Amino acid sequence: MCRWVKGIFDEAIGSVFPNTEVQGCIVHQVRYSTKFVPWKDRKQFCADMREIYTALNEQAGLDSLNSFEQKWGTKYPYAIKSWRNNWARLCPMFKYPEEIRRIIYTTNPIEGFNRVIRKVTKTKGSFPTDDSVFKILYLIIMDSNETTGKARKDWTIILNQLTIYFGDRIVKHMGGSFSKNR
């Protein structure tokens, strides 16, 4: 996605959801970076790159990026340039603990869900009413939950961390499962 589109996306999300932080996809960044690296260097390159996105905090990640650039920058400058250009979108995850990072570092689950929606809706010629669209989306979501919605073994830890960081924004969407008396 080009920088112009990313900027528009960030603005659009921010206008509807003002408290939103946009996290770039680490998996896509890694894939793009390795596009410039031949197979013989890829294993070491990826191991060194991993130090960047698994760092404890943003400063440690930036230090790792600097070390990464010193080692690989002359050989693969476009891979480093991409990390530098996208750093603002890649670094929001550093402020969260490991449990939250594991669920926000990639957009692949979202893309997979969108693929399921497209697969079902593209075979429909048209929808007679808005309600028919909502009904089919509801059925897609329910079917997706049955087939892929296995609970994460560490969900209670993740929910606890999300509640610490986002407080009322999480609690208000829990559908009454929280009570102030508990």
One digit per residue, pLDDT tens: the chain, 182 residues? 545 456 677 788 888 888 888 888 999 999 999 999 999 999 999 999 999 999 999 999 999 999 999 999 999 999 999 999 999 989 999 999 888 888 888 887 778 888 888 888 888 878 888 888 888 888 888 887 666 656 677 888 888 888 888 887 787 777 655 444 44
Q: What is the pLDDT of residue 146?
A: 64
Number of domains in the chain: 2
Question: Do 90 and 112 have their domain in common?
Answer: no
Q: What is the pLDDT of residue 179?
A: 46
What is the structure's pLDDT at 110? Answer: 79
Q: Does residue 177 lie within any of the structural domains?
A: no
Chain centroid to CA 156: 20
Residues 86 and 8 in one domain: yes
Judge if 126 and 71 occupy the same domain. no
Give dist(CA 178, CA 170) in Å, integer.
Answer: 10
On whether the pTM is more than 0.75, the answer is no
Residues 26 and 102 sit within 8 Å (Cβ to Cβ): no
Q: Which domain holds residue 149?
A: 108-171
145: left (phi over 0), alpha (psi -120 to 50) or beta: alpha
Residues 144 and 80 both lie in one domain: no
The last residue of a domain, from among 95, 126, 148: 95
Quick one: 123 and 85 in the same domain? Answer: no
Whether 7 is in a domain gets the answer yes
* 179 within some domain: no
Q: Residues 93, 101: contact at Cβ < 8 Å? A: yes
* 16 shares a domain with 84: yes
